[in-house]
């Protein structure tokens, strides 16, 4: 069923891309749009992981230079019956994580140094289990491809604004072009966000099952949501479509609205609380309002490529000091 929904959504975005091309350039424009959409789908299918990782400046780590973090991911992958993904760290104060790759055999997971600095080991385990659930559900490919096509629709709409509307003086054609310019990006945004919201709930459920610690994941979500709302994310500022890739939005969002890339964090925590009760987890549930906000600039003791700054030890110190 998940694969069918994915295929239908990609087909809808491709059709929307073609319709916009037809509005701007007639039959020829629709054919060009179809060729471009097919090319984007093919290119993104084979290069989704490298596109996203390069966008974030992520660097790969292994058991030699980051043994605790890589070991944690390896243990979760075994529990999830998944191949070991490549593991990356992003040098950024913004606390977040994501998974990418076209299938479980070519998957990668990444976390920022900001995330590793503010979460304890159980919380990090919950977050990475959530990302592995995305890999197991094959969400990583569809989210990257959808974001790419949605961005292309917006770009084509902007092209139509400058070159299409003024070309034909017929009132109907001008109106159609104006509608395409405004409606197409809006429709693509709705589809992208609808996919993200439903899949985040599924990944939370899967992450709770893989880690066995639903309340640790709930606590992590609370901390990350507060941190992401206050610490800038340069990648999302440059490319808002990237917000759908993260475990929490890459910028401040409000509630379960039509325009949210993720469900409201309070709703996700409530679902995890129900999962914990079903699993018989006895640990106290985190109070969302009481979770302390992360301190800007607090980075973990993981290998860095840039200038070294004063920071406290991470929950997963690769040198064993955490």
| Cα torsion 170, 175, 176, 181: sign | positive
How long a stretch of residues is the chain?
322
- Whether 156 and 21 have beta carbons less than 8 Å apart is answered as yes
Active site residue 131: yes
Of 123, 125, 131, 200, which residue is the catalytic one? 131
d(CA 285, CA 272): 9
Question: Residue 65: which residues within 8 A CB-CB, separation 6 or more?
Answer: 303, 318
Which pairing describes strands 97-100 and 108-112: parallel, antiparallel, or unpaired? antiparallel
Residues with catalytic function: 131
């Amino acid at each position: 069923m998940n694969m069918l929904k994915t295929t239908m959504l990609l087909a809808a975005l491709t059709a929307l891309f073609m319709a916009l091309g037809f509005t701007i350039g007639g039959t020829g424009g629709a054919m060009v749009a179809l060729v471009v959409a097919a090319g984007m789908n093919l290119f993104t299918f084979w290069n989704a992981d490298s596109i996203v990782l390069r966008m974030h400046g992520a660097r790969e780590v292994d058991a030699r230079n980051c043994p605790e973090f890589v070991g944690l991911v390896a243990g979760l992958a075994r529990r999830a019956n998944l191949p070991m993904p490549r593991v990356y760290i992003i040098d950024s104060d913004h606390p977040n994580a994501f998974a990418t790759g076209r299938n479980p055999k070519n998957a990668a997971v990444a976390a920022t140094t900001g995330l590793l600095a503010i979460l304890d080991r159980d919380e990090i385990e919950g977050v990475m289990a959530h990302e592995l659930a995305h890999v197991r559900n094959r969400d990583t490919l569809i989210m990257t491809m959808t974001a790419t096509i949605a961005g292309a629709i917006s770009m084509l709409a902007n092209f139509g604004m400058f070159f299409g509307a003024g070309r034909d003086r017929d009132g109907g054609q001008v109106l159609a072009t104006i509608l395409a310019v405004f409606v197409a990006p809006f429709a693509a945004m709705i589809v992208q966000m609808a996919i993200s919201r439903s899949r985040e709930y599924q990944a939370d459920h899967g992450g709770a099952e893989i880690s066995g610690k639903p309340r640790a994941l709930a606590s992590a979500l609370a901390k990350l949501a507060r941190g992401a709302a206050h610490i800038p994310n340069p990648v999302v500022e440059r490319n808002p479509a990237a917000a759908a890739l993260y475990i929490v939005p890459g910028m401040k969002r409000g509630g379960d609205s039509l325009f949210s890339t993720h469900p409201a964090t309070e709703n996700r925590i409530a679902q995890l609380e129900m999962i914990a009760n079903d699993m018989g987890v006895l640990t106290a549930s985190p109070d969302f309002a009481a979770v302390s906000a992360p301190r800007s600039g607090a980075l973990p003791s993981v290998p860095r490529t840039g200038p070294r700054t004063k920071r406290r030890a991470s929950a997963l110190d690769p040198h064993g000091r955490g």
